[in-house]
A and B are shown apart, each in its own frame.
Chain A
Amino acid sequence: MNVLKLAVKNIIKNPLNLLMSTILFGLGVGLISFLLLFNTQLREKFDKNLADIDLVVGAKGSPLQMILCNMYHIDNPTGNISVKDAAPLLRDGHPLIKKAIPLSLGDNYKSYRIVGTNYDFMSLYDGQLSSGKLWENDLEVVIGSTVAAETGLKLGDTFESSHGLISDDHVHEDVVFVVTGIIYGTGSVLDQLILTNTSSIWKVHAHHEDHEDHDADEHHHHDHDHHHDNSNAHLLHHADEQITSVLIQFKNKTNFQALNFGRNINENTDLQAASPAIEINRLYSMIGIGADILRGLALLIAAVSALFVFIMMFKSMRERKYELAIMRVLGARRAKLFLLIITEGVLLALIGLIIGLILGHAGMEIVSKYLKEDFRYVFSGLRWLPEEGFIVIASLILGVIAAIIPAIQAARTDINKTLTRK
Chain B
Amino acid sequence: MYNIVFTGFLFDCLPLIFPEIIKIHYFCSMIQTKNLVYSYSGSESIHFPDIHCDAGEILLVLGSSGVGKTTLLHLLGGILKIQQGSVCIDGTELSSLSGAVADHFRGQHIGIVFQQNHFVEALNVLENVILAQNLAGKKTDKKKAMALLEQLNVGHKYGKYVRHLSQGEKQRVAIARALVNDPKLVLADELTSALDDENCNEVLNLLENHARDTASALIVVTHDTRLKDKIDRKVILESK
Q: Which residues of A contact B (CB under 8 A)?
A: 1-2, 6, 9-10, 12-13, 320, 322-323, 325-336, 415-416, 419-420
Q: Is the CB of B79 within 8 A of A1?
A: no
Residues from chain B with a CB closer than 8 A to the CB of A320 are 121
> Is B85 among interface residues, defined by CB-CB distance under 8 A?
no
Contact pick for A332, options B108, B122, B135, B177, CB 8 Å? B135
Residues from chain A with a CB closer than 8 A to the CB of B106 are 329, 331
Q: With A330-B132, A332-B135, A416-B74 as given contacts, are A323 and B79 in contact (CB-CB < 8 Å)?
A: no
Most buried by A among B80, B130, B134: B134
Count residues on chain B whose CB falls below 8 Å from chain A CBs. Answer: 32
> Is B114 among interface residues, defined by CB-CB distance under 8 A?
yes
Q: Is the CB of A6 within 8 A of B137?
A: no
Residues from chain A with a CB closer than 8 A to the CB of B99 are 333-334
A interface SS class: helix
Q: With A330-B136, A333-B100, A335-B100 as given contacts, are A13 and B107 in contact (CB-CB < 8 Å)?
A: no
> Is B77 among interface residues, defined by CB-CB distance under 8 A?
yes
Q: Is the CB of B127 within 8 A of A1?
A: yes
Q: With A1-B130, A12-B122 as given contacts, are A416 and B79 in contact (CB-CB < 8 Å)?
A: yes
A320 and B103 CA atoms in complex are apart in Å by 19
Residues from chain B with a CB closer than 8 A to the CB of A322 are 118
Q: Measured between C-beta atoms, what is the minimum distance from B149 to chain A in Å?
A: 16
Q: Is the CB of A419 within 8 A of B114?
A: yes
Residues from chain A with a CB closer than 8 A to the CB of B77 are 329
Q: Is the CB of B136 within 8 A of A331?
A: yes
Residues from chain A with a CB closer than 8 A to the CB of B118 are 322-323, 325-326, 419
A420 and B103 CA atoms in complex are apart in Å by 19
Residues from chain A with a CB closer than 8 A to the CB of B127 are 1, 9
Give 11 new A-B contacts, CB below 8 A, not counting A330-B131, A331-B107, A334-B99. Answer: A6-B122, A6-B131, A9-B122, A9-B127, A13-B122, A323-B121, A329-B77, A329-B106, A330-B135, A332-B135, A336-B135
Q: With A9-B123, A320-B121 as given contacts, are A331 and B108 in contact (CB-CB < 8 Å)?
A: yes
> Is B104 among interface residues, defined by CB-CB distance under 8 A?
yes
Q: Which residues of B contact A (CB under 8 A)?
A: 70, 74, 77, 79-80, 99-100, 103-104, 106-108, 112, 114, 116-123, 127, 130-132, 134-137, 140, 177
A6 and B114 CA atoms in complex are apart in Å by 23
Q: Measured between C-beta atoms, what is the minimum distance from A323 to chain B in Å?
A: 5
Q: Is the CB of A10 within 8 A of B103?
A: no
Name which residue of chain A comes closest to B123, CB basis. Answer: A9
A2 and B135 CA atoms in complex are apart in Å by 9
Residues from chain B with a CB closer than 8 A to the CB of A6 are 120, 122-123, 131
A331 and B74 CA atoms in complex are apart in Å by 14
A136 and B114 CA atoms in complex are apart in Å by 95
Q: Is the CB of B137 within 8 A of A1?
A: no
Residues from chain B with a CB closer than 8 A to the CB of A323 are 118-121
A329 and B120 CA atoms in complex are apart in Å by 12
A420 and B74 CA atoms in complex are apart in Å by 10
A326 and B170 CA atoms in complex are apart in Å by 14
Name which residue of chain A comes closest to B137, CB basis. Answer: A331
Residues from chain B with a CB closer than 8 A to the CB of A329 are 77, 79, 106, 112
A327 and B131 CA atoms in complex are apart in Å by 8
Contact pick for B107, options A10, A332, A415, A416, CB 8 Å? A332
A to B CB contacts below 8 Å, 13 in the list: A1-B127, A1-B130, A6-B120, A6-B122, A6-B123, A9-B127, A323-B120, A330-B131, A330-B136, A331-B103, A332-B135, A333-B104, A334-B99
Q: What are the 9 tightest A-B residue pairs by CB atom distance, in nearest-first order?
A: A331-B107, A322-B118, A13-B122, A9-B122, A330-B135, A333-B100, A1-B134, A331-B135, A331-B136
Q: With A6-B131, A323-B118, A420-B70 as given contacts, are A332 and B103 in contact (CB-CB < 8 Å)?
A: yes
Residues from chain A with a CB closer than 8 A to the CB of B80 are 416
A327 and B107 CA atoms in complex are apart in Å by 9
Name which residue of chain A comes closest to B124, CB basis. Answer: A9
Q: Measured between C-beta atoms, what is the minimum distance from A415 to chain B in Å?
A: 5
Q: Is the CB of A2 within 8 A of B134?
A: yes
A415 and B121 CA atoms in complex are apart in Å by 17
Residues from chain A with a CB closer than 8 A to the CB of B134 are 1-2
Q: Is the CB of B140 within 8 A of A1?
A: yes
Residues from chain B with a CB closer than 8 A to the CB of A415 are 74, 79
Name which residue of chain B comes closest to A420, CB basis. Answer: B70
Contact pick for A13, options B114, B121, B130, CB 8 Å? B121
Q: Measured between C-beta atoms, what is the minimum distance from B108 to chain A in Å?
A: 7
Residues from chain A with a CB closer than 8 A to the CB of B135 are 327, 330-332, 336
